[in-house]
Structure 1
């Protein structure tokens, strides 16, 4: 899994999740809610968690859809943004 987390940000475990009564899943990043999944997507996630398939932090990062790419600072300095 180290290949996918080259900068090792996931070692700090910034993501967390909570399974609600209605089987939806609330995903948080640094204690701030960023995404809620439900239906088939939530059921698939819960199944992976129960079977402990892979790195949970990496799975949460992927579910958020490339939440942090690392290029935010560079894009602010881009000439088209000025």
Structure 2
């Protein structure tokens, strides 16, 4: 995982699973993405077995803006 500015550690993403199988991704108390369907199932595999760094990286990727650094 590449987090050169250490932003994922300083301001991590939060997540929760819903009963319908969606994964709700939030940061700083604000909802930033809702992942559903096949993408949610792929994300679940990381959330179940990954370390914290891998989980934060996967959540950043799920927001769609991880390359630009504006995943707020």
| TM beyond 0.5 | yes
TM range (shorter): 0.7 to 0.9
* TM-score, L = length of structure 1: 0.71
Deviations 1:37-64 (A, max 9, x none): 1111101111121122662111111111
Aligned residues: 69
Report the structure number with the largest CA radius of gyration.
Answer: 1
Aligned-residue RMSD, C-alpha? 2.1
1:34 CA drift (Å):
0.8
Higher relative contact order (CA 8 A, sep 6+): 2
* TM-score, L = length of structure 2: 0.80
1:69 CA drift (Å):
2.6
- Kept in 1: contact 2:14–2:25 (CA 8 A): yes
- Return the alpha-carbon distance in structure 1 between the equivalents of residues 29 and 66 of structure 2: 14
Query: In the alignment, what sits opposite 1:64?
Result: 63
User: Aligned ranges for residues 3-82 of structure 1 at < 5 Å?
Assistant: 4-52=2-50, 55-66=54-65, 69-70=68-69
SS in 1 for 2:25: strand
Runs of 4 or more consecutive aligned structure 1 residues displaced over 4 Å after TM superposition: none
